[in-house]
Amino acid sequence: MGAFITETIIKVLVVVLVFSFLGGFATYLERKVLGFFQRRLGPSYVGPFGLLQFGADAIKLFTKEDILPSGANKIIFGLAPVVALVSAMTSMVAIPFFPNFEIFGYKVTPIISDINVGLLFFVSVGAVGIYAPLLAGLSSGSKYSLIGAARACIQVLSFEVVSALSILPPIMLVGSLSLVAMNDYQNESVLNWLIFKQPLAFIIFLIASYAELNRTPFDLLEHEAEIVAGYCTEYSGLKWGMFFIAEYAHMFAFSFVISLIFLGGFNPIGFIPGGIAIILKVCFFIFLFMWVRGTLPHIRPDQLMNMCWKVLMPIALVNVLVTGIVLL
């Protein structure tokens, strides 16, 4: 029992530290990728190739003055970024990141808790993150923050429905909500990947993930061209940084989940070991997130809602119906 508790604590610390680092480092990668697309250098002065730029940014965030607006609710204003970060990190509890491996003869299972409703846990706990922009907008005492919070409720709640509907067909095929079971279902060959059996579900879930993560072209929660910085308008310093670490950490979590559900997870591909295979898949989706941001323009709120309720929702429902008929 003691060994299990110790192992779990170590896993939690590793996940928090690794994804906090990756969340910060992803800001450097994104600036480099966007710089490449836009024919500019991106970070280049701090360290070789600008590699230490995210470290300099972290120092700036830790030492920058933490401003509290005079009209803000102090407790809720400080709680909002904590909710964002805790939601993003907690959603990773049921994600199997890699295949099992051994360290000095001790078998390590790279998942904090292998619960049989892992996918439901990921979706539901991730959805709790909506309280972060909501609380931030309501507590800031700013109309810009309030507008951003209102958009957050509309956008995230709408796409949560579409996201849940899109993963129903894969769940029906696998017969389990466990992400480990999802991975094991696709272990025979590449042709057994669920992306080939459920391409519509994959596309809808991917689009919904962009909207839930507030990624361009769906970044209406923080649309700097219209409402300054949305719900983050009144934030500065470390609190502001926590929102963005949470966003990038959640982006890595979604990349792992999409890989596990639709692209064979950590099953080996030919001569490529499973651990390296899932890293390559996650890197592809992270690059895709950045590629889309550098390519597509913003869309209007009405266009986003029309796409959600009039396009994606009917397609997701039809996909569930067709899958059910085929299985019966």
Signed CA dihedral, 264, 270, 274, 278: sign only? negative
Q: What is the pLDDT of residue 244?
A: 84
Q: What is the pLDDT of residue 199?
A: 93
Q: Which residue reads 């230490």 in tokens?
A: 52
Classified as helix, coil or strand, 207 is helix
What is the average pLDDT value for the chain, to the nearest integer? 87
Q: What is the pLDDT of residue 141?
A: 82
* Residue 181 clears pLDDT 70, i.e. is over it: yes
Residue by residue, DSSP assigns 253-277 as HHHHHHHHHHS-TT--BTTB-HHHH
Q: Report the range of poorest mean pLDDT among 96-110, 184-198, 298-312.
A: 96-110
Q: Which residue reads 């401003």 in tokens?
A: 67
From 123, 225, 129, 136, select the one nearest 182 (Cα to Cα).
123
From 218, 221, 217, 200, select the one nearest 313 (Cα to Cα).
200
pLDDT digits (tens, 9 = 90+) for 222-258: 665 665 777 888 888 888 888 888 888 999 999 999 9
Task: Report yes or no: 307 and 155 within 8 Å, Cβ to Cβ.
Answer: no
Per-residue pLDDT band at 103 (split at 50, 70, 90): confident
Q: Report the range of poorest mean pLDDT among 115-119, 284-288, 323-327.
A: 115-119
Q: What is the pLDDT of residue 226?
A: 64
Q: What is the pLDDT of residue 224?
A: 59
The whole-model pTM stands at 0.92
Per-residue pLDDT band at 197 (split at 50, 70, 90): very high
pLDDT digits (tens, 9 = 90+) for 271-318: 889 889 999 999 999 999 999 988 888 888 888 889 999 999 999 999
* Residue 140 clears pLDDT 90, i.e. is over it: no
Distance from C-alpha of 140 to C-alpha of 134, rounded to nearest angstrom: 10
Per-residue pLDDT band at 206 (split at 50, 70, 90): very high
Q: What is the pLDDT of residue 221?
A: 66
The distance from CA 3 to its chain's CA centroid, rounded to whole angstroms, is: 31
* Residue 219 clears pLDDT 80, i.e. is over it: no
Q: What is the pLDDT of residue 257?
A: 94
Task: Report yes or no: 247 and 22 within 8 Å, Cβ to Cβ.
Answer: no
pLDDT digits (tens, 9 = 90+) for 27-52: 889 999 999 888 888 888 888 888 88
Element (H, E) at 108: strand 106-108
Q: What is the pLDDT of residue 157?
A: 85
% the chain with pLDDT above 90: 31
Q: What is the pLDDT of residue 1?
A: 64
